[in-house]
Structure 1
Amino acid sequence: MSERRILIDVPTQTLTLSAGTRVLARYPVSTGRNGVGERNGSGCTPRGLHRVRARIGEGCAPGTVFRGRRPTGEICDAALRAAHPGRDWITTRILWLTGCEPGRNRGGEVDTLRRYIYIHGTPSSEPLGEPRSHGCIRMHDAALIALFDQTPVGTPVEIRG
């Protein structure tokens, strides 16, 4: 089987999983509210070639809430969202990205890994298809579980903006 690849297209707010020339799945996403960019602290989604550095949350229940890449013991539901209306929810699974292009998205002030850029879950109440994140790539939980189950460490991820 051909190596799996992920393409995130910022203008269309989509993520495509492929193997060779075959599209396996396409999902709506939400990228950085501040647009694209690589600088630390920008709140932008970094462009270029990345790889999945770590897979976090395998086996956790859908809606599991993460802080600092660790489950908090909470499950995101309507009551929890109402109690914390401004919270940036990271739920269910995390695919932590690392940049592959020194000076563009790796090293110094542009390091994707040190910026904690993930593909992560978000509650189904959160809209997708429009930039709303703090730089990460958000997906609804069910779609993220499907992607996570097909995405080993080292999977190439290209972010086009």
Structure 2
Amino acid sequence: MSLNDQTLALLDSNGGIVASYPVSTALNGVGEQHGSGCTPAGAHYIRAMIGAGLPANTVFRARRSTGEIYSPQLAARYPDRDWVLSRILWLCGQEPGKNRGAGVDTFRRFIYIHGTPNTEPMGLALSHGCIRMRNDDVIELFDLAWPGMPVTIR
């Protein structure tokens, strides 16, 4: 995952690129502090995967499906919502004192790779700390990922 390039690359066991996706990371830049609104850097892994089998554009709040499917009409009713859609890959830091532990814990900060409305731009840092992806892309990635899968954010 490259914060500078705003891309997520899925690598094979030899380091070859299997797939590459545009993403949107934090508007506030790189950082690990709780409450910073930044995307944390360093070594992580996928701790939990949420949304298997649900329709594209399923709306999540607090990691639970609301039963809603995102639409322009729903967006107009809730203009200030930070939309978490389709799938959630919940990350956990692996570096004590950097992205794991008191004040800097990626998992406790609820940092995910997740879907976002297709109207949101990719390639620009605009999120509140999470890694946003197009819905079709996050569903594809979800189907290729597994709990415990390493994720490096640089």
**TM-score, scaled relative to structure 2:** 0.98
Tell me, in whole angstroms, the C-alpha distance in 2 between the residues paired with 1:70 and 1:30.
22
Structure 2 gap ranges (5+): none
How far, CA to CA, are the matches of 1:107 and 1:21 in structure 2?
A: 29
Shift of 1:82: 1.4
SS in 2 for 1:110: coil
Structure 1: runs of 5+ lacking an equivalent: 1-7
The 1-side partners of 2:38 and 2:80 are apart by 19
Runs (4 or more) in structure 1 with deviation over 6 Å come to none
Question: What amino acid maps onto 2:4 in structure 1?
Answer: P
**What code does the residue aligned with 2:127 have?**
S
Shift of 1:21: 2.2
Question: Match for 1:85 among 69, 79, 83?
Answer: 79
Whether 1:17 and 2:23 are equivalent positions in the alignment is: no
Corresponding residue for residue 100 of structure 2: 106
Report deviation, 1:146.
0.4
Amino acid at match of 1:63: N
Match of 1:27 in 2: 21
What is aligned with 2:90?
96
Aligned to 1:46: 40
1:96 counterpart SS class? strand
How many residue pairs are counted as aligned between the two chains?
A: 153
Query: Which residue is 1:69 aligned to?
Result: 63
The residue that corresponds to 1:138 in the other structure is 132
Percentage of matched positions with identical amino acids: 57
Q: TM-score, with normalisation over the residues of structure 1?
A: 0.94
Aligned-CA RMSD value: 0.6
1:68 aligned partner, one-letter code:
A
